[in-house]
Each structure stands twice: as C-alpha cells, then as structure tokens.
Amino acid sequence: MQQGDRVARWQELWEEPASGWDFSEFEGRVVESEPPWSYEELVQHELSTAGSALDLGTGGGEFLLSHQHELPVEMHATEGWGPNLPVAREALGPLGIEVREYDADRGDTLPYDDDSVDVVLSRHESYDPAEVVRVLRKGGWFLTQQVDGRNLDDLAAVFGAGAAFPEVRLEVFRSQAQEAGLIVERAEEWSGSIRFDSVDTLVSYLRLMPWQLPEDFTIEGYADQLCALDEQEGPLEFTERRFLLLAHLPIPDAPPADPFPRWEH
C-alpha cells in the first residue's frame, strides 16, 4: 500500500469520535502485561467498610458501573475531561451517582464538604493532596494508581519527544501525600510491556490519550515515523509504567492503623 493511502487510513482512524475509557474495542489487538497488584481488589477491600466514597476521574463511569453492586450507599464521582462528562452522567445517573466536573490541573476545589467521605479513589487522574485530605474523614483512606510520567517514553522517542510528564513519579507523589498529612501504608511502582498488532491499532489507541504524543502531533506531520513503524516486522512493543499509593488520614490520638490486611493483594 502506498504511503498516501496508509496516511489517509490513519487520518480516518484518528478522527473517529472518542469518549469514555472503554478499551474493549482493542481486545485481541493490544496485549498488556499487568502490575503485581490488583487495583480492582484493592478498591473492593476499601469500599467493603466505607459508608461513602469519591471516585476522581471516573471517565465514562465504566469502573463504577462494573462494580455497582459493591458501592457504598453514598457514592460520588468527578470527571475533568469534557467529552467524558455526559457519558459518565448518563451511565451513573440511574445509579443515583452525581458526576461533578473537577480538574485538579486547573486548580479546582473539590465540590464536596470537609470531612465528608470515607474513601477517595483516583485511577490515572490528577489530584491535589490537600484537597483529598480536606474531604476525607479522619481515619479515611486514599487509594491511587497513577500512570508514571515516563509511560511510553520509548514510543515518544519514536516521534522525537521525551517523557510527557517527567515530574509524575512515585517518590514525588509519596512525598506530597505525606506533606499533606497522609500516612502512606503502601507505595509500589512497576513497568511492563504493551504490544500493538499494527499501526492502525496504535493510532486508534492513542486517539483516546493524545497527551502521550508531542503537542504538535498530527498524522500528516509524523507520517514518516508512522510508516517506519508500519514497516517493522511483528507487533509494536513499548513500555508502560504505573505506580500505586495507599494512605490513610490519621485519627488524632488513635493508635497506628494496621495495614497488614491491605498487603494481601
């Protein structure tokens, strides 16, 4: 196939509408290794004794929807990416979950009262540790899994770019959590592989997370690099990076929390 035809096809894929965080369309086309921890099991453990919880960056509501029978009576959610808001509200509204707009990167204040929730969750979403502490009840727990800022740095290098967010690292987030008043009970980082079966799949995947690419990225502008990837034999393999933090807000004059059960997963 001529380069012009390939570029035209990739442009069509790039322009397909994107909303929510449903990656089921990539089943069988994208193969990812998994961290040693299970975020889902950790969430289930935290929610099992919670009366109220807050999910930061709920996306299209996919995660909460898939765990709707395990949610506490009082469940809240936020989303900061405009295209996801109506999707999340439509999905979670029937469950009685109000999805409020919130973007920590804009300096927003969480739209919740002080000391109002038992658990705050944040999966791949930016957050302000001081705001997390403000809304957490004493003794409450904070669980976050983050995409390390060096995620897919080898893919970025293909396009002549460096790591997208080099300041997003476990040691930085752990220090910030501690400075905000949280007691960190668990802190782990991981790297593994992600493989794409074709450049078509890679383009479709990246349209859901364009921040992983150079700011000036366009299909036409980086056609040579995409064609070079397309001419490689075998799957396209790159490096994913994640880290996990589990912390609690201490109760004044209370004995230290026993984290042992939380280390089982």
23 band by pLDDT with thresholds 50, 70 and 90: confident
The answer as to whether 217 is a domain residue is: no
% of the chain exceeding 90 in pLDDT: 83
Distance CA 223, CA 43 (A): 41
The answer as to whether 10 is a domain residue is: no
Distance CA 250, CA 246 (A): 13
Token reading at 190: 């991981």
pLDDT tens column, 105-121: 999 999 999 999 999 99
Centroid of chain to Cα 177: 18
**What confidence score (pLDDT) does residue 260 get?**
44
Token reading at 28: 């069988």
**What confidence score (pLDDT) does residue 24 get?**
81
**What confidence score (pLDDT) does residue 258 get?**
56
Task: Give the DSSP per-residue string, 45-64.
Answer: HHHTT-SEEEEES-TTSHHH
Token reading at 18: 């994107």
The answer as to whether 219 is a domain residue is: no
What b/e string do you get for 115-124 counting C-beta neighbours within 10 Å, with b at 16 or more? ebbbbbbbbb
Does the pLDDT value for residue 3 go beyond 90?
A: no
264 or 134, which is more confident?
134
Identify the domain containing residue 65 by its residue range. Answer: 35-193+242-251+259-263
Centroid of chain to Cα 262: 21
The answer as to whether 230 is a domain residue is: no
**What does each C-alpha distance from 123 to 63, 120, 224 come to in angstroms?**
10, 10, 34
The answer as to whether 100 is a domain residue is: yes
Does the pLDDT value for residue 149 go beyond 90?
A: yes
What b/e string do you get for 156-195 counting C-beta neighbours within 10 Å, with b at 16 or more? bebbebebbeeebbbeebbeebeebebebbeeeebeeebe
88 or 21, which is more confident?
88
- Here the CATH number for the domain that contains residue 141 is 3.40.50.150
Does the pLDDT value for residue 175 go beyond 80?
A: yes
The answer as to whether 223 is a domain residue is: no
**What confidence score (pLDDT) does residue 19 get?**
65
What are the φ and ψ backbone dihedral angles of 262, each rounded to 5 degrees? Answer: -80, -10
**What confidence score (pLDDT) does residue 212 get?**
86
In the predicted model, what is the mean pLDDT of the chain? Answer: 93
How many domains does the chain divide into?
A: 1
Does the pLDDT value for residue 42 go beyond 50?
A: yes
Does the pLDDT value for residue 259 go beyond 70?
A: no
Distance CA 32, CA 48 (A): 29
Q: Which residue has the tokens 């070079």?
A: 228
136 band by pLDDT with thresholds 50, 70 and 90: very high
Please tell me the least confidently modeled range out of 42-56, 86-100, 201-215, 245-259. Answer: 245-259
Does the pLDDT value for residue 265 go beyond 50?
A: no
For Cα atoms 88, 93, 98, give the angle at the middle one, nearest 5 degrees. Answer: 80
Q: Which residue has the tokens 């383009």?
A: 203
